[in-house]
């Protein structure tokens, strides 16, 4: 048996993701046209919910203090980053936010709080602010309680909604900037301890699937479903490896 390149704490997530993307249900969807089959869109939406609940609730804080939460992903957890982008993928208009405190649109793609808000509440934390809302050159203390890099439209692949959102690679790049700021504030050892105790929430993948199954998908025209799945898993492994090297542990 070959040895996994990932630490033990990561292996269950890689296994579950690979199993999900290789499932017969996903393969069955390959023959469906989203424009002509509402059921395919429904199935893709169900998969996005699976990603959401799997990544957010696979870790349970068992009576221990969680100092911060760092959020990565797409519109399911975006709390306003897209407000600061030149993109039509925005939620800064009614009726978004109609049930949110203040009854105004905040950039969340929902009528009220989203999954990032609810998870923060469960952890006893304030919802992390959007990274792009913070002043350029912010010091480490601005990131001590966490920050959100999530961006509506983002996917595992950089080609998903290209130039319309913060790609997952870009989100990881911003995380490296935060890591550097924390090192200046806490030192290397202090930063490692802080990040190892923090929650790193990732909700990603549904936009890649939506894009692949679109009627006019160029990706589906040039790759098989298995090739597409392989590229997703390969890319995600590299992204998770980079995050692990920056100190992320509780993902």
Confidence of residue 215 (pLDDT cuts 50, 70, 90): confident
Using omega within 30 degrees of 0 as the cis cutoff, is the peptide bond preceding 227 cis? no
Q: Which residue did the predictor score with more confidence, 14 or 243?
A: 243
Q: Is residue 250, in this structure, part of any structural domain at all?
A: no
Q: Is residue 113, in this structure, part of any structural domain at all?
A: yes
Q: Which residue did the predictor score with more confidence, 180 or 6?
A: 180
Structure tokens, 218: 């160029």
Q: Which domain holds residue 68?
A: 37-245
Structure tokens, 17: 């993701």
Q: Is residue 28, in this structure, part of any structural domain at all?
A: no
Using a 10 angstrom Cβ sphere, with 0-12 exposed, 13-18 middle and 19 or more buried, the burial of residue 124 is exposed
Q: Is residue 15, in this structure, part of any structural domain at all?
A: no
Mean pLDDT throughout 73-95? 96
Residue closest to 13 by CA, chosen among 73, 59, 45: 59
DSSP letters, 139-154, are -GGGGTTEEE---TT-
Q: Is residue 11, in this structure, part of any structural domain at all?
A: no
Neighbours of 91 (CB within 10 A): 19
Confidence of residue 167 (pLDDT cuts 50, 70, 90): very high
Q: Which residue did the predictor score with more confidence, 244 or 19?
A: 244
Q: How far apart are CA 231 and CA 33, in angstroms?
A: 22
Helix, strand, or coil (residue 43)? helix
Q: Is residue 101, in this structure, part of any structural domain at all?
A: yes
Q: Give residues with Cβ within 8 angstroms of 59, minimum separation 6.
A: 199, 250, 251
pTM of the model: 0.78
Using a 10 angstrom Cβ sphere, with 0-12 exposed, 13-18 middle and 19 or more buried, the burial of residue 100 is middle
Number of domains in the chain: 1
Whether the per-residue pLDDT at 2 is higher than 60: the answer is: no
The answer for 125, left when phi > 0, alpha when psi is -120 to 50, beta otherwise, is beta
Helix, strand, or coil (residue 26)? helix
Q: Which residue did the predictor score with more confidence, 233 or 7?
A: 233
Q: Is residue 7, in this structure, part of any structural domain at all?
A: no
Confidence of residue 65 (pLDDT cuts 50, 70, 90): confident
| DSSP-assigned beta bridge partners for residue 69 | 146, 199
Give pLDDT, residue 163.
95
Residue closest to 13 by CA, chosen among 46, 57, 43: 57
Q: Is residue 26, in this structure, part of any structural domain at all?
A: no
Whether the per-residue pLDDT at 46 is higher than 70: the answer is: no
């Amino acid at each position: 048996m070959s040895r996994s390149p990932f630490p033990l704490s990561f292996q269950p997530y890689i296994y579950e993701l690979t199993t999900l993307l290789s499932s017969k249900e996903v393969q069955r969807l390959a023959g469906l046209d989203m424009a002509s089959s509402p059921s395919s869109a429904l199935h893709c939406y169900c998969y996005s919910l699976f990603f959401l609940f799997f990544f957010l609730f696979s870790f349970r804080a068992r009576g221990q203090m969680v100092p911060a939460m760092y959020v990565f992903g797409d519109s399911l957890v975006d709390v306003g980053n897209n407000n600061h982008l030149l993109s039509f993928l925005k939620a800064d208009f009614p009726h978004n936010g109609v049930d949110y405190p203040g009854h105004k649109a905040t950039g969340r793609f929902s009528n009220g709080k989203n999954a990032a808000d609810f998870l923060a509440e469960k952890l006893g934390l304030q919802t992390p602010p959007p990274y792009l809302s913070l002043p350029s050159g912010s010091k480490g203390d601005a990131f001590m309680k966490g920050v959100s890099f999530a961006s509506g439209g983002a996917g595992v692949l950089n080609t998903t909604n290209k130039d319309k959102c913060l790609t997952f690679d870009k989100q990881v790049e911003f995380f490296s900037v935060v890591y550097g700021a924390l090192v200046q504030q806490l030192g290397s050892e202090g930063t490692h301890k802080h990040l190892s105790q923090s929650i790193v929430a990732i909700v990603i993948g549904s936009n890649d699937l939506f894009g692949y199954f679109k009627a006019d998908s160029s990706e589906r025209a040039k790759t098989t479903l298995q090739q597409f799945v392989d590229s997703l898993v390969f890319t995600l492994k590299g992204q998770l490896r980079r995050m692990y090297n920056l100190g992320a542990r509780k993902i």
